[in-house]
Structure 1
């Protein structure tokens, strides 16, 4: 059942105690002033109410109802956040969150994709934002996460057309106008660098487009071209929104706007020149496809060479538009992988984006080579440090928010999840001490959601949700109590060799 968090649960902390000599010990006070510790959700995975109060179908709704959806359920009810957000904001306040990152559903706010705003959708987001403000929680809003209104997909193939730039900019304008007086932290897109492959190459994410032999049972798509069209128009749409915000809103609203990337630490499998080059190409595709245009107005040379004419070119106007078009970068970081050179690429008469990278990926040095989506299940806290160092050294010391980090754990006594979070938070602090400009860290996720891979069976939440009960009752897990003690009670974390333990502050 749901409920408020107790002020303290010392008996639970005893379960996490250790007498080991530690490599690092810290409290929340060791992080920079203003550092935003939070947790997140996403609209489709959280809200439910799929056809309620004027919401129209999104591409994710359509895909989830198709035969190609790998999950058992469609997610129509999700965590019922549309009706239970007030209860959830109370739980956030009890945990002590400084920030909450959620996404706005385009098809709930503007059901036709452009034009009239849905008053019920507008009221929902206004009411939820007001609850967050009243609770003293920073509002971190993301404008888009895989829920393009289906009507725009049907009209002009959505993100594959330059028409998306104007429609997305107009949608963002509504968000800034209606919510910007209370929202000062905006993320335009979630994970476009990996969605390009998942949605338009292998076709296992909405809208599920791909072509033989690269994808799985797709009826429409072109895996060789469409991932690059998506990336290109995504970058232009994001940059158009940033320009809009800076010219029309930023001076008054005093906010910031950025973009989110899926993050992996990619290690070279061996010290051979071929594997090192393959790792560099993989990093160029994963990070450089977005960050390089922001810094230099063009795609990385390795990406242009691999994709050739299939990668659109920036006009001089577009190059100027994308350059510098961010105030921060958000990272969704979970794991690490090993990369090795793929010698078979040169023999392929036709290549998709995955083949263009020219690398094979492994979970371990001894594991079977495989290209997969999403890649990475290795628990490697040091990998986050490596990523932050890589970005700083290659692209400069840009402002970064860790917007998602977590792991699934079904148990209410989720000690393994707690150890995971402690180790990654410790790595975040180490990176900051090494010079990285990291300004926030958010757990994925606040509560159990309908997951892209796993449906209702993958439980990432600090708060458990009973998906077998239509009331979707909430119950805090041990991790929620631990996070609360870290944020509110100054409990210290100790970590040794990537393994985390905790004792009360008074014992250190």
Structure 2
């Protein structure tokens, strides 16, 4: 009897293993689940000096030669002139939605004041074209491209004046486009913009202090990341309050915020590294999720950062708590984390020293292939933060640009990558996570903030070497299209199944 019983158990294990999900279709996801792809304005639009647009801090940064290979986004994929062609590609692929951002320096070039008519015309045309082709516009109000004029005037995110200027800009977006846009994101990745711009100083506005940053002419890495993020949080809450009070009832939309969502795992089996990973998940995810759900920063951050972490008034706590209809997460990889308690003993500390942790990768790396990390992230949100509605706003894999040019259409690794992450997303939903959408990064090749044109994330390739910026569908676009149009989750070759 032992052998048949063992055989029966073996068959049952096969029948219920995660590999069964390779037969998933989009119909297995919840009704109304949204599948799309995304870009951002600075990265894809081009037309940097056209029709009244003025510089952002990213224009200044790239024109000063700080980006890889001294690349700029002056032309990039030139979506400003090719948006109709792009929308036709989206329709051909079968996308439900396109996630893009409004360029603040195109719509309100000086940061405040009059709306630029040409900028208004462009975004109206893009939104109308999407809707005409049955594609939902999912719009990010602010995606890193702060008008340079506001940086010059009052140091941008470091001043509370940013909150009022941002709120006025958000109001212009709601009034101009809210009759058609039903999905709004206030701010993209505030938990990385503040670190790269004000802690390490490797990205604009390049503020940092020794020994935590290099080549910065001004800044204070011990305080400025926390102050900049504080103002971004308050700006988010202000825009949400405005939208709910004045627009949501009549426009019928939803509003949220999008965070970078690396999952931190211990780099070893030591208790010290396990504690460091827990701290980093609080510092990375809890930094914003805790105020958004509970109205204050995580107690762990309060105790370790002390008075350098800004306080919240009772009114600010009230405005922050529940200030979202959904939370977006941009997820790519796992971050292996080591304890570094010596850093916490420094008299002058920054973000990572406060967390007493070091990571085994840099933000510029593609990172470790680990679909299971998305499941852990979603479980953490479900168990720790009251299971918020979640949109996976970015998930994707880059090819080196040299490889992309050589093989163009063949990018089967990207299809496998997307397959495995979508399987984990489905499994998380089955466990109770309230995930409502998935967007591939990116729809097109574009200027990447960390790598310039050295890597290509696009489902659709762009020939950056010709004036017309020719587009072409890669195999991953055709694979994704097949799934969206009724096919199964079966990429070319064998799908990976990893574990922690």
Question: Shift of residue 333 of structure 1?
Answer: 0.3
Find the counterpart in structure 2 of residue 393 from structure 1: 383
**Greater mean alpha carbon deviation, residues 62-71 or residues 326-335:** 62-71
Alpha-carbon contact 1:198-1:373 (below 8 Å) kept: no
Match of 1:463 among 456, 460, 463: 460
Q: Quote the Cα distance in structure 2 between the aligned partners of 1:256 and 1:21.
A: 33
Find the counterpart in structure 2 of residue 405 from structure 1: 395
Find the counterpart in structure 2 of residue 17 from structure 1: none
Q: Does 1:474 align with 2:464?
A: no
Question: Shift of residue 375 of structure 1?
Answer: 6.6
Find the counterpart in structure 1 of residue 497 from structure 2: 498
Find the counterpart in structure 2 of residue 149 from structure 1: 147
Q: Does 1:377 align with 2:375?
A: no
Match of 2:334 among 332, 336, 344: 336
**Greater mean alpha carbon deviation, residues 248-257 or residues 308-317:** 308-317
Question: Shift of residue 348 of structure 1?
Answer: 1.5
Alpha-carbon contact 2:419-2:495 (below 8 Å) kept: no
Q: TM-score, normalised by structure 1?
A: 0.90
Alpha-carbon contact 2:188-2:259 (below 8 Å) kept: yes
**Greater mean alpha carbon deviation, residues 109-118 or residues 314-323:** 314-323
Distance 1:296 1:264, change over 3 A: same
Q: Does 1:108 align with 2:106?
A: yes
Q: Could you report, residue by residue, the CA deviation over 1:114-167 in whole angstroms, capped at 9, with x for unpaired residues?
A: 110000000000000000000000110000011011001100011100001111
SS in 2 for 1:252: helix
Find the counterpart in structure 1 of residue 134 from structure 2: 136
Find the counterpart in structure 2 of residue 124 from structure 1: 122
Question: Shift of residue 362 of structure 1?
Answer: 2.2
> Once superposed, what is the RMSD of the aligned Cα atoms?
1.6
Find the counterpart in structure 2 of residue 415 from structure 1: 412
Q: Quote the Cα distance in structure 1 between the aligned partners of 2:254 and 2:53.
A: 28
Q: Quote the Cα distance in structure 2 between the aligned partners of 1:234 and 1:454.
A: 25
Q: Could you report, residue by residue, the CA deviation over 1:332-387 in whole angstroms, capped at 9, with x for unpaired residues?
A: 00000221210212431211112111112225xxxxxxxx3357600101110010
Distance 1:456 1:392, change over 3 A: same
Q: TM-score, normalised by structure 2?
A: 0.92
Q: Quote the Cα distance in structure 2 between the aligned partners of 1:191 and 1:183.
A: 21
User: Which runs of structure 2 are paired with 1:316-335 in the superposition (5 Å)?
Assistant: 316-335=314-333
Question: Shift of residue 67 of structure 1?
Answer: 3.4
Question: Shift of residue 425 of structure 1?
Answer: 0.7
Find the counterpart in structure 1 of residue 235 from structure 2: 237
Q: Quote the Cα distance in structure 2 between the aligned partners of 1:435 and 1:40.
A: 26
Distance 1:480 1:254, change over 3 A: same
SS in 1 for 2:455: coil
Find the counterpart in structure 2 of residue 193 from structure 1: 191
The structure that is helix-richer by fraction is: 2
Alpha-carbon contact 2:416-2:496 (below 8 Å) kept: no
Name structure 1 gaps, 5 residues minimum: 1-19, 364-371, 500-508
Find the counterpart in structure 2 of residue 246 from structure 1: 244
Alpha-carbon contact 2:419-2:490 (below 8 Å) kept: yes
Q: Quote the Cα distance in structure 1 between the aligned partners of 2:382 and 2:364.
A: 24
Q: Does 1:76 align with 2:70?
A: no
**Greater mean alpha carbon deviation, residues 247-256 or residues 273-282:** 273-282
Q: Could you report, residue by residue, the CA deviation over 1:154-195 in whole angstroms, capped at 9, with x for unpaired residues?
A: 000111000011110000000000100100000011100111
Q: Quote the Cα distance in structure 2 between the aligned partners of 1:271 and 1:230.
A: 35
Q: Quote the Cα distance in structure 2 between the aligned partners of 1:491 and 1:462.
A: 18
Alpha-carbon contact 1:337-1:376 (below 8 Å) kept: no
SS in 2 for 1:334: coil
Distance 1:375 1:281, change over 3 A: farther
Q: Does 1:438 align with 2:435?
A: yes
SS in 2 for 1:493: coil
Find the counterpart in structure 2 of residue 449 from structure 1: 446
Name structure 2 gaps, 5 residues minimum: 1-16
The total of aligned residue pairs comes to: 472
Q: Quote the Cα distance in structure 2 between the aligned partners of 1:374 and 1:195.
A: 14
SS in 2 for 1:330: strand
Alpha-carbon contact 1:462-1:479 (below 8 Å) kept: yes
Question: Shift of residue 274 of structure 1?
Answer: 2.2
Alpha-carbon contact 1:264-1:376 (below 8 Å) kept: no
Alpha-carbon contact 1:197-1:354 (below 8 Å) kept: no
Q: Quote the Cα distance in structure 1 between the aligned partners of 2:315 and 2:49.
A: 40
Q: Quote the Cα distance in structure 1 between the aligned partners of 2:71 and 2:301.
A: 37
Q: Could you report, residue by residue, the CA deviation over 1:30-72 in whole angstroms, capped at 9, with x for unpaired residues?
A: 0111110000000000000001000010011111111333343
Find the counterpart in structure 2 of residue 207 from structure 1: 205
Distance 1:251 1:197, change over 3 A: same
Question: Shift of residue 211 of structure 1?
Answer: 1.4
Q: Quote the Cα distance in structure 2 between the aligned partners of 1:191 and 1:156.
A: 22
Q: Does 1:488 align with 2:478?
A: no
SS in 2 for 1:331: strand
Q: Quote the Cα distance in structure 1 between the aligned partners of 2:495 and 2:145.
A: 41
Q: Which has the higher contact order (CA 8 A, sep 6+)?
A: 1
